Structure formats: structure tokens, C-alpha cells
Chain A
């Protein structure tokens, strides 16, 4: 089974978020970056489990500059066999999807795994776009995957229940919590990661049709309101009119 896992670089969950260039770009200076947890914990680990069960290979792919090699090496340390980096600054979900699809076209992957979303933009777009560009079936938010030969049975949570789909390879899947359990790189994996191949590929020309105009932070949290314990009417009013929870 030849598998491709798409990985993104995202700010660490504790990073302070700020913008630059008239609020049109994220301020990366001083920010600690990590591999997007949905890519690492679920997409990559489930792909590795499939490879361990039926054989084959796992390649990880990232669209980004050389600074992203650190998170790519982590993927190799966790167990991926090889990596590809498309050497370009990711400008939009469509840009990233186009680069991944162009690379995947010539490689005959049996399945492509992505995380269900990145924890910075929360777009959930790249997987679907890659599937469309490759004309392959797409299952989003997968939390269970079984493979029997070329046939995959994939479950995903839907409102009030579970949807189960059956399809043949090749397909694209976006991984949600439950698909696998986080793996921590071991010391041997960290040593081996340096010796595994990381291929750098130039990007395909593509003109983005969407341009980010600006970002803004959510409004600051309001200060805590102290309510006199004797004044229950005021408490009820605040919960009803302002918090709108009753």
C-alpha cells in the first residue's frame, strides 16, 4: 500500500497570535511551530499502522519553505519512510491542494491522508480540493478505517450517529480524533530521521484567485462581573440578556 500523508506547519497552541503588514500576514517572529496535530496524531499514525499491517510505504508531503524541514523530520522520526517538500510559501488552501495534486498525479498513491483541519486556519479545505483535482472519492472527518485488500471501510461521525462508507482505493481521507492514537517519536526514530530521504520539489505555477485582505483578533473577553449574592434578580437578568444561557 503506497500512502501519502499531507502535513502542515502550525503555531504551537500556546503561541501568542499577532499580525503584521497592515494585518494582512501572520507575525511568525518568535513563534514556536509544530506539526498540525490532526496531521501528526491521526493522519500520519493511521497511515503508519496501515503500512505496518499490510506493507508498503508512507511518504509525507508539505508545501512550504526550508524552515518547515524541522516538522517534516519529526514526521520521519515518527516513522514515515520518505518526505517531499514543495518549495513554496503556502498562499491559500487551493494553492496547497494544487501543489499536492500535481505531485501525487505521477506517483500512483493508493490513498492520501490529511488532517481534518489545521489548528490555525481551521479551513478543512485541502483534502476535498486534492480529491477533486485527482478525481478521487473523499471521506472527511474519518474516525475509523479498516482495509481489506483494496477495499476500505471508513466511519465518520455525523449529527446524532455514525456514517459508514465502503470504497476502493485510491481515495482521499481527512482524519479526525479517534482514527489513531498519538505516537511519540522514539530515540531511534529521531536518529533515523536524518538519514531518510527528503526531496525538495519546485512548485507548479499557479495564480491564486483569492487574496487575504486582513486578519483580526477576536474581541477581548469582557471583565468578570461581580454580582451581589443578595441580588439574584440581577444574576438572572445577566444570564438571560447578556450571557444568553437561560
Chain B
């Protein structure tokens, strides 16, 4: 097992030097978060990850979740992991004090979450899935629903899920068939089935609360007829928890994330499944998009964090394994050198570092926009909203897609050992694969970016993005070492503009099919420019740090 899975130094650099998270304390909502509070938060996440999450990363893979006698068995330590995360206040950390949270900036929370996901995303995901479901209830649920469900979710006693997918309705949610029939008692009778429900059923919690999409009988066809319901596995009656007629047909045998359950659920087979409407009828998909947007950033975090674990495992191996001699050495009696000394091994390590730290930076940038969207006002708020909307498909897809390649390079560093389960690379490779499928496939995000986000408000988000990139280019031009990179990024943003202009032109001249045919390739290109922007931003701050660093440790960090 590797010793390291994340760079806390790099996270501190991003939080304090690049994004200056403590400056968010100028807003009343975040006034308590100075640098000291941020550092303690990061340290607490690392301690929890070292103590509880990382030690069971491999165990959860080897002892995968299984379905037996009607219930789903998971790793025996998972209950205490979820409980510890909950008692640490992590599930509710971003919520207001009145809601039982700590008003923590999302930028800081996601940095802390990155550590937990890098240590063991398969365990941490249970708790943060609950966070997303509880947030949805906080935003749109009645006071009665909130008080009935949220405290038990924040305490880690009850699992939260998002239940969308059905056998015939994956990316096409408008054809979902689960139905909700109103009753005189006020609740709805739910029937149907849901598939691939992460955390959908397991024994590490006392109950599971599904935030579920269904169609009220007689509702309009398509997405406008979809409503959101709370459907618990067990419902409360006369002070006791009784079955709510939600049963598990089985769990999926997944390629990776074997400790993280994906369940197939049957609803109302005994005509006794009760659902409670969240918000207004027929608004379900709109509500659910709040959770899905958060979940997309979360998926990007999970992918980048998994790639981080793989990077440090491969880095350690290359510093211990000796093979071959430098090409210039002809002396066969000389001992082999550590493989990190070979140029191509270094290339593979640097590729991983570029993907991991570039992704991490973009994810914190998006989190920062989310914070500003919440606490800023006027033009700043609107700008943050548009940039977050534009960049969310990239923040989800780039870490997911490039993370796969990154882990693959990590495995390559180990040669045959990387393919075997004596080392964690093969698990990381299996675990990371699903992130480009979760929360909308890469194809969906390509179409979202080109077909919707780029065109939003007559291309305003795109113009704001170009201005943000230009701002960093101007800063980089002041640093001699960065001028060549600033020039390249300047050319790339022009090329992106031309490509976008050409494709939007196609939309007007040709069919939508032609317009969107290359949407994924467009997403790839846009992503590279975006990550280049984030690396140049880091470069500017690294140069500034280098100019004032006095310790070798810091100088080495800034040089990379």
C-alpha cells in the first residue's frame, strides 16, 4: 500500500495563494472562515481520512458489497465511517447555522472532500450522497418534511439517495414511468422501479431516504410532468419504523467501486409505498438539477481524487524500484537506477500531476464561483452564476475522462506489478472508470456545453470566460518564465473562439444533428483550454511564491 494519496501542500497553495479562500470572510455569511479555520478544517479532513478511510480502501474492494437474504451487506466498518463523518459535521457543513450547519464555504469544503475522496471515495461517497439529498430537501421541502428527515440524515443514521434512472429512462428522463397516485391522506402511492441507485440499500444505516422522481397520475407527458418525492425505505408509524414497501431486487456487480452499492429498487409491489411530494407538482426535474449540478462537481472531485491516489502510489513505486541504466551508460557492471530517473517514467508522472492538479484547481475555481453565486450580489453574482454554469460540464468531464488516462499512466509506471492486485493501481483504474458515466455521460455534457451553455444569454458566459482567461494571460506576461505559456494560451483561446463561431454558424445553416455531432470533441478542446488557464493561474502564483520563499521545501514546491 502506498503511504501518500494526496498533497496537502498543494491544497493549501490553491486555497490560500491561488483562490485566497479566507477573503470570502468579507461576506457576512462566511465571516468566521479565516486562514486558521481553513487550515484546521483541512487538517481535520486529513486526520479523519488517515485514520478511518484510507486503511479500508483495499479491504472494501476485496470484500465487496453483496446482497443476501433481502439485505445488502457492506464493509463492517462502514457504519462507523459514516457516523464519524456525520459527527464531524461534514454532511451539514455548508448549510446555515439555523439549518444545523457551519456555513462553510464550498471552496473549503470541496478541498476537504478531495482529501477524503482520495483516501477512499467508495466510503466517503455514502456520506456525501446524503449531503446532496438533504440539501435538496432543505431547498424545496416543507418544514414538516425537513423536520421528519433531515436531522437523521445529518446525523448519519439515515442514508440519502437520488433515485432517477429506470430501465427505459437513463439519459432520457422524460420517458420515466414510476407513478404517484394522490391519496386522501395527503401522501402519494408510488409504484415503479429504479435502477443503478447508489447507496440505494445497505446495512450501515438504519434507513434509506430516496429523493425520487415520479409522474403524478394524469400529469403532462415529458419532463414537465415529473415531480419530486421523498420515499423512505422505512416510514414512521406510531413512533416505530415500518416497511414502506420499497424492496431491493439486487445490487449490480460493478467493474470497480465494489464497496459502493448500486441497487435495483422495486417500489409499491404490495401497493403500500408512500411518497411525500417535495415542493410543487411537476417541478421535480428542475429541483433535481440543483442536486445534479452539485453531484457533477462531486463526480469531478471523485475522479480527480482517485487519480491523485494513483499518482502518489505510482510516484512511490518509481522511487523504490530499480531497473535499467541510463541510455548513456554502457557499463553492465553498474547497478540499475531507480526508474524515476528514466525520462519516459518522468513524463508519465508529470502527465498525472498535470491532470490531477489541473483538475483540482478547476474544481476549486468552480466551487469558488458557487460561493460567490451564493453570497455576492449584483453583477458579481450573475457573473459567478454564468461561469459556473458554463464550466460545470468541464469540471465534471475533464477529471473523469483524463483521470482514466492518468491512472492508466500510473499503472504503466509499475509495469506488470501495476496490473496485479499486490498494488493499488488496478483498483484505482477500475474505480475511476465510472466517473465519465455518472451524472450524465461525457456525450451529454458535450451537448450541454455546446448546445446550451455556450449559447446562454447570447454567448455572455463564453465572453466572461474569455475575459477571465485574458486576465490571467496579462498577469502571466509580467513573469518572464511564463511568457511562452501565456502566448500559447492566448492563441488557444482565439482558436476556441473561432471553433465556437464556426459551430454556432452550423447550427443556423444545418440541422441540430450536424451542429452537435462533434460536441464531445468540442468539450475536449474547451477542457484543454480551461485546464491550461488553471495551470497558468497556478504558474502566476507559484512565481510569486518563489520570489519570496526562503525555505528549500517551499522553493522545491513552487518549482514543481
Chain A residues with a Cβ under 8 A of chain B:
16, 27, 29-31, 69-70, 73-74, 77, 182, 184-188, 190-191, 193-194, 226
Q: Determine which of B41, B84, B549, B551 lies in contact with A187 in the assembled complex, contact meaning CB atoms within 8 Å.
A: B41
Give Cα A31 to B550, complex, Å: 11
A190 and B551 form a contact (CB under 8 A): no
Q: Which residues of B contact A185 (CB under 8 A)?
A: 40, 44
The 10 lowest CB-CB distance pairs between A and B, nearest first, are: A30-B551, A187-B89, A30-B553, A29-B551, A187-B102, A186-B88, A186-B89, A184-B47, A190-B40, A185-B44
Contact A29 B88 (CB under 8 A): no
Q: Assess A30 versus B552: contact at CB under 8 Å? Given A186-B87, A186-B88, A191-B102.
A: yes
Residues of chain A within 8 A of B48, CB atoms compared: 184
**CB-contact partner of B90 in A16, A77, A187, A194, under 8 A:** A187
Binds A, one of B31-39, B367-375, B536-544: B31-39
Per the bound structure, the CA–CA distance linking A30 and B44 in Å amounts to: 21
In the complex, chain B residues 443-459 whose Cβ is within 8 Å of any chain A Cβ:
none
- Interface magnitude class on chain B: 20 to 34
Q: How far is the CA of A74 from the CA of B554 in the complex (A)?
A: 24
Provide the residues of chain A in CB contact with B36, threshold 8 Å.
69-70, 73, 194
B43 within 8 A of A: yes
**Given A184-B51, A184-B88, does the pair A190, B550 have CB atoms closer than 8 Å?**
no
Most B Cβ at <10 Å: residue of A30, A182, A194: A30
Q: How far is the CB of A71 from chain B (nearest CB, A)?
A: 10
Out of B37, B84, B88, B550, which one reaches A191, CB within 8 Å? B37
CB distance from A80 to the nearest CB of B (A): 14
User: In the complex the two chains form, what is the Cα distance from A211 to B122 in whole Å?
Assistant: 53
Task: Find chain B residues with CB under 8 A from A190 CB.
Answer: 37, 40-41, 44, 102
- B93 within 8 Å of A by Cβ? yes
Q: How far is the CA of A193 from the CA of B41 in the complex (A)?
A: 12
Contact across chains for B553 and A16 when beta carbons are under 8 A apart: yes
Complex Cα distance, B51 from A74, in Å, reads 17
The verdict on B335 contacting chain A, using a C-beta distance below 8 Å, is yes
A211 to chain B, nearest CB (A): 26
Q: Which residues of B are found within 8 Å of A193, using beta-carbon distances? A: 40
Confirm or deny: B432 has a beta carbon within 8 angstroms of a beta carbon on chain A.
no
Given contacts A187-B90, A191-B37, contact A182 B552 (CB under 8 A): no
Q: A74-B43, A184-B47 are in contact. List 13 more A-B contacts (CB 8 A).
A: A16-B553, A73-B36, A73-B40, A77-B44, A184-B44, A184-B84, A184-B88, A186-B87, A186-B88, A187-B88, A187-B102, A188-B102, A191-B32
In the complex, how many angstroms separate the beta carbon of A186 from the nearest chain B beta carbon?
5
Give every chain B residue within 8 A of A69 (Cβ-Cβ): 36
- Closest beta carbon of chain A to B81's beta carbon, Å: 12
User: Could you write out 6 A-B pairs with CB less than 8 Å apart?
Assistant: A29-B550, A31-B553, A70-B36, A184-B88, A187-B102, A190-B37
B interface, by DSSP: helix, strand, loop or mixed? helix
Question: What is the minimal beta-carbon distance from B87 to any residue of chain A, in angstroms?
Answer: 6
- Chain B residue numbers with a CB within 8 Å of A31 are 551, 553
Q: In chain B between 347 and 397, which residues have their CB closer than 8 angstroms to a CB of chain A? A: none
Q: Bound state CA distance, A226 and B549, in angstroms? A: 41
B32, B40, B549, B552: the one within 8 Å of A74 (CB): B40
- List B523-560 residues whose CB lies under 8 Å from chain A: 549-554
- Taken residue by residue from 15 to 45, chain B's Cβ proximity to chain A (1 for < 8 Å, 0 otherwise) reads as 0000000000000000010101101110110
Assembled-state Cα–Cα distance A16/B555 (Å) = 14
| Docked CA distance A187–B553 (Å) | 30
- Does B104 touch A at the CB level, under 8 Å? yes
- Write out the residue numbers on chain B whose beta carbons fall within 8 Å of the beta carbon of A188: 89, 102
Is B40's CB under 8 angstroms from A30's CB? no
**Chain B residue at minimal CB-CB distance from A34:** B43
Q: Do A182 and B51 touch (CB < 8 A)?
A: yes
Complex interface residues of chain B between 179 and 227 (CB less than 8 A to chain A): none
CB < 8 Å: which of A74, A77, A182, A187 contacts B93?
A: A187
Chain B hits for A184, CB < 8 A? 44, 47-48, 51, 84, 88
Closest-CB distance, A195 to chain B (whole angstroms): 9
Does the CB pair A70–B44 fall under 8 Å?
no
Bound form: Cα–Cα A226–B333 in Å: 13
A190–B289 alpha-carbon span in the complex (Å): 32
Chain B residues with CB under 8 A of A30 = 549-554
Q: Is the CB of A226 within 8 A of B335?
A: yes
Q: Which residues of A contact B84 (CB under 8 A)?
A: 184
Query: In the assembly, what is the distance between CA of A16 and CA of B553, in Å?
Result: 8
Within the assembled complex, what's the spacing in Å between the Cα atoms of A195 and B34? 13
Neighbouring B residues of A70 by C-beta, 8 Å: 36, 39
Chain A residues contacting B552 (CB-CB under 8 Å) are 16, 30
In the bound assembly, the distance between CA atoms of A53 and B32 in angstroms comes to 31
Counting chain B CB atoms within 10 Å of each CB, the highest count among A27, A187, A193 belongs to: A187
Chain A's nearest CB lies how many Å from the CB of B107?
15
Q: Are B32 and A194 in contact (CB-based, < 8 A)?
A: yes
Bound Cα distance from A129 to B181, whole angstroms? 76
Q: For chain B residues 95-127, which have a beta carbon within 8 Å of chain A?
A: 102, 104
Contacts of B93 in A (CB 8 A): 187
B104's closest neighbor in chain A, by CB? Answer: A187
Given contacts A16-B553, A30-B552, A30-B554, contact A77 B47 (CB under 8 A): no
Chain A residues near B47: list those with CB within 8 A.
182, 184
Min CB gap A198→B, angstroms = 12
- Across-interface contacts of A182 in B (CB, < 8 A): 47, 51
CA A27 – CA B553 in complex, angstroms? 12
Task: Decide: A194 and B551 in contact? CB cutoff 8 A.
Answer: no
Q: How far is the CA of A1 from the CA of B87 in the complex (A)?
A: 26
Q: Which residues of B contact A77 (CB under 8 A)?
A: 40, 44
Please measure, in the bound complex, the distance between the C-alpha atom of A190 and the C-alpha atom of B38, giving whole angstroms.
9
Task: Please name the residue on chain A nearest to B86 by beta carbon.
Answer: A186
Give Cα distance in the complex from A241 to B89, angstroms.
Answer: 57
A226 CA / B335 CA spacing, docked (Å): 10
Q: How far is the CA of A43 from the CA of B93 in the complex (A)?
A: 28
A187 contacts across to B, CB distance below 8 A: 41, 44, 88-90, 93, 102, 104
- B351, chain A: closest CB distance, angstroms: 25
The residue on B at minimum CB distance from A40 is: B47
Chain A residues with CB below 8 A from B34, complex form: 194
